[in-house]
């Protein structure tokens, strides 16, 4: 159906042309699903944008040939290409919140595409949109038709984009990272939905992802991209059974696996410099069971660092005539647990289960409704504002989105130095700057990064910056809130390794929050499963994984895309 021949993409920069894609070739057959995998910057997304002719001509140079049904798309006038977009080829863009117009209803955005491409009446387009919403299994399709994007969850927004892409019955669907940062259960639902729609409609699918585990569940064939080139092209079973390129081996190995106990996760660099197999590298990093047993025995012979007893955080959702709350959302409802010095306590659950609210309630960034928070025998709920601020020297948080938690107007150095100034650490800014440079180096960043701004860094680098800021006050306890959820699996492995190294170096205690059970199982000494504001299981990660008691936990486990 689609043939790509010698596709090259260059971007104009102040230093000349940058080669983003370097002469790639592939064919897509009718009804086939090709998975395209690689890290950020490998050329995956720009390739898909080039196929749709959506790259800005003012700053890009695209050469090669893309033929659809014998027609070279690069030679078509823009009006003819516009007719092909949507009708013949459609795309699900990477980030649903930024791909949907925030001031237009979801229904309008889909009906607009139908009216534009198919010439349907407004009433007919609305009926078709609601039918599409039903097809992509959105709840209450009529209500979502009139809803704005901010009123929907991440998974629901993704379904709206899928409905929009399917609205004109395309022959080829390009899905660019459609499951990134979604809960594992929502991710599995989206993959199953795409497989179902593809089979029913007889479409071909190009599925782009940085996660080989996800690709293994949907693709027939896989293209592995590295620095703008296709380094491996193979049937999915062949690729996973016998990867040939060192980069492919690295991508497969660096994903946290529930089957192994590793002291550290393999990274791409472990494979690029030699001919080591995945098994050899995993054997090198295996955590001996004796060491795990000894570590846990030592951990749990201590007095708890943090004691949480019957903690509740409720939010009002509606008001009566006199402003009195009618209903309460019990985001956290009578939760109790202890955290021991030097421990990593994993907290796992879907979006909306109360994980983040619990983390922020422990630090009193959200005021709890009731219950006790006891840190080193200090009742945090009894402290006034000034005393609580002083206590935050010892208890820190790494927020979910590093970009939005950094001030865009401050340099990275200023952001890390700010808590040192607020809490009067060191005598002057010269000494504080010296400490910041040490912290940057410790999280594998460079001294010259001190004077750069957050927008000048990649996602993985920004995550390291907020880790450095959390370490600045030499805390005893850190809450890591979804701190690796939106990262490439290769960068995720590096950050998880760093978090574990820092724990050993600075004797840190963590509550590590994630929706990904495989990440939690890898990094945690104990694991808590949260659902609807309550802890439904707590205990040894292996015990919970192999012998789950709750149906909810079983669903989380079954959603893991395991290679």
Question: Cα–Cα distance between 267 and 414 in angstroms, integer?
Answer: 31
DSSP code for 406: S
Residue whose token pair is 């959702």: 317
What's the half-sphere exposure (Cβ side, CA atoms, 13 Å) at 34? 25
pLDDT band at 487 (very low <50, low <70, confident <90, very high): confident
Query: For residue 511, which of 475, 479, 536 has the smallest C-alpha distance?
Result: 479
Burial (CB count within 10 angstroms: exposed 0-12, middle 13-18, buried 19+), residue 490? buried
At 178 the pLDDT is: 85
Burial (CB count within 10 angstroms: exposed 0-12, middle 13-18, buried 19+), residue 469? buried
pLDDT band at 96 (very low <50, low <70, confident <90, very high): confident
Query: How far from the centroid of its chain's Cα atoms is residue 75's Cα?
Result: 37
Q: Which positions ≥6 away from 19 have C-beta within 8 Å?
A: 8, 9, 10, 228
At 213 the pLDDT is: 86
Transcribe 303-315 into DSSP letters.
Answer: PPSEEEEEEEEEE
Give CA separation, 519 vs 176, 327, 366, in Å.
23, 35, 26
The alpha carbon torsion through 179, 182, 188, 191 (nearest 10 deg) reads -20
195 C-beta neighbours (distance < 10 Å), count: 15
Q: In this model, does residue 151 exceed pLDDT 90?
A: no
At 322 the pLDDT is: 58
Percent of the residues in the chain that have a pLDDT greater than 70, as a whole number: 98
At 422 the pLDDT is: 93
At 325 the pLDDT is: 55
Give CA separation, 140 vs 2, 124, 137, 146, 351, in Å.
37, 19, 9, 10, 19
Contact status, residue 288 vs residue 282, Cβ threshold 8 Å: no
Q: Is 58 left (phi over 0), alpha (psi -120 to 50) or beta?
A: alpha
Query: For residue 236, which of 555, 563, 483, 527 has the smallest C-alpha distance?
Result: 563
Are β-strands 33-37 and 221-226 bridged in parallel, bridged antiparallel, or unpaired? parallel
Question: Cα–Cα distance between 341 and 343 in angstroms, integer?
Answer: 6
At 361 the pLDDT is: 97
Question: Cα–Cα distance between 186 and 559 in angstroms, integer?
Answer: 9
**Tens digits of residue pLDDT in 349-407:** 988 889 999 999 999 999 999 999 999 999 999 999 999 999 999 999 998 888 888 99
Q: What share of the chain is helix, strand, coil (3-state, %, to 5)?
A: 40, 25, 35
Question: Cα–Cα distance between 417 and 413 in angstroms, integer?
Answer: 6
Query: For residue 209, which of 200, 201, 218 has the smallest C-alpha distance?
Result: 218
Q: Is 375 helix (H, G, I), strand (E, B) or coil?
A: strand
Q: In this model, does residue 494 exceed pLDDT 90?
A: yes
Give CA separation, 70 vs 1, 3, 73, in Å.
8, 9, 9
Query: For residue 190, which of 153, 226, 220, 222 has the smallest C-alpha distance?
Result: 153
Q: In this model, does residue 271 exceed pLDDT 90?
A: yes
Contact status, residue 464 vs residue 344, Cβ threshold 8 Å: no
Q: Is 229 helix (H, G, I), strand (E, B) or coil?
A: strand
At 116 the pLDDT is: 86
Q: In this model, does residue 319 exceed pLDDT 60?
A: no
Terminal-residue alpha carbon distance, the chain: 29
Return the bridge partners of 319, or none. Answer: 325
Q: Torsions phi, psi of 16, nearest 5?
A: 110, -165
Residue whose token pair is 């912290």: 439
Please give the angle made by the CA atoms of 158, 162 and 553, to the nearest 5 degrees: 45
Handedness of CA 453, 457, 460, 464 (dihedral sign): negative
Question: Cα–Cα distance between 510 and 479 in angstroms, integer?
Answer: 6
At 159 the pLDDT is: 86
Residue whose token pair is 């007719």: 83
pLDDT band at 458 (very low <50, low <70, confident <90, very high): confident
Q: In this model, does residue 326 exceed pLDDT 80?
A: no
Q: In this model, does residue 561 exceed pLDDT 80?
A: no
Contact status, residue 356 vs residue 513, Cβ threshold 8 Å: yes
What is the H or E stretch that residue 20 is in?
strand 16-28
Question: Cα–Cα distance between 506 and 81 in angstroms, integer?
Answer: 58
Question: Cα–Cα distance between 230 and 245 in angstroms, integer?
Answer: 10
Beta strand extents in 217-297 (DSSP E only): 221-226, 229-235
């Amino acid at each position: 159906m689609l043939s790509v021949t010698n596709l090259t993409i260059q971007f104009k920069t102040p230093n000349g042309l940058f080669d983003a894609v370097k002469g790639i070739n592939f064919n897509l057959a009718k009804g086939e699903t090709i998975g395209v995998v690689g890290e950020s910057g490998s050329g995956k997304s720009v390739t898909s944008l080039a196929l749709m002719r959506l790259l800005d001509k003012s700053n890009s140079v695209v050469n090669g040939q893309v033929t659809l049904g014998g027609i070279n798309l690069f030679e078509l006038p823009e009006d003819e290409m516009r007719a092909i977009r949507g009708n013949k080829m459609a795309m699900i863009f990477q980030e649903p919140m930024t791909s949907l117009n925030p001031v237009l209803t979801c229904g309008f955005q889909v009906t607009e595409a139908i009216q534009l491409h198919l010439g349907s009446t407004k009433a007919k387009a609305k009926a078709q949109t609601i039918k599409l919403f039903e097809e992509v299994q959105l709840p209450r399709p009529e209500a979502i038709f009139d809803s704005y994007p901010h009123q929907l969850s991440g998974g629901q927004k993704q379904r709206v984009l899928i409905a929009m892409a399917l609205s004109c019955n395309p022959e080829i669907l390009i899905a660019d990272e459609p499951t990134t940062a979604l809960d594992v259960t929502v991710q599995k639902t989206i993959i199953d939905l795409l497989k179902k729609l593809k089979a029913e409609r007889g479409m071909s699918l190009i599925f782009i992802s940085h996660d080989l585990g996800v690709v293994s569940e949907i693709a027939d064939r896989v293209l592995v991209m590295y620095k703008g080139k296709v380094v491996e092209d193979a049937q999915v079973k062949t690729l996973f059974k016998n990867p040939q390129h060192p980069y492919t081996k690295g991508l497969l190995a660096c994903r946290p696996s529930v089957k192994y106990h590793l002291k550290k996760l393999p990274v791409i660099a472990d494979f690029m410099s030699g001919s080591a197999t995945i098994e050899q590298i995993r054997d090198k990093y295996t955590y001996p069971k004796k060491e795990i047993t000894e570590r846990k025995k030592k951990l749990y012979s201590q007095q708890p660092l943090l004691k949480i007893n019957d903690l509740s955080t409720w939010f009002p959702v509606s008001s009566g005539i006199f402003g009195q709350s009618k209903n309460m959302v019990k985001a956290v409802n009578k939760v109790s647990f202890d955290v021991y010095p030097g421990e990593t306590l994993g907290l796992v659950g879907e979006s909306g289960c109360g994980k983040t609210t619990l983390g922020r309630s422990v630090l009193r960034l959200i005021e709890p409704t009731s219950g006790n928070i006891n840190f080193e025998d200090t009742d945090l709920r009894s402290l006034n504002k000034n005393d609580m601020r002083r206590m935050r020297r010892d208890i820190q948080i790494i927020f979910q989105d590093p970009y939005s938690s950094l001030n865009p107007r401050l340099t990275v150095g200023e952001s890390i130095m700010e808590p040192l100034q607020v809490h009067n650490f060191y005598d002057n800014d010269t000494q504080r700057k010296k400490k910041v440079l040490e912290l940057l180096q410790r999280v594998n960043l460079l001294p010259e990064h001190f004077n750069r701004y957050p927008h000048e860094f990649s996602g993985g680098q920004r995550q390291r910056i907020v880790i450095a800021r959390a370490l600045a006050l030499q805390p005893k306890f850190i809450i890591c809130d979804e701190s690796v959820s939106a990262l490439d699996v290769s960068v995720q492995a590096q950050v998880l390794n760093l978090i574990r190294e820092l724990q050993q170096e600075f004797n840190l205690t963590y509550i590590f929050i994630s929706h990904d059970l495989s990440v939690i199982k890898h990094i945690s000494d104990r694991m808590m499963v949260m659902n609807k504001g309550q802890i439904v299981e707590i205990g040894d990660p292996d015990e919970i994984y192999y012998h789950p008691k709750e149906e909810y936990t079983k669903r989380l486990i079954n959603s893991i895309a395991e290679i």
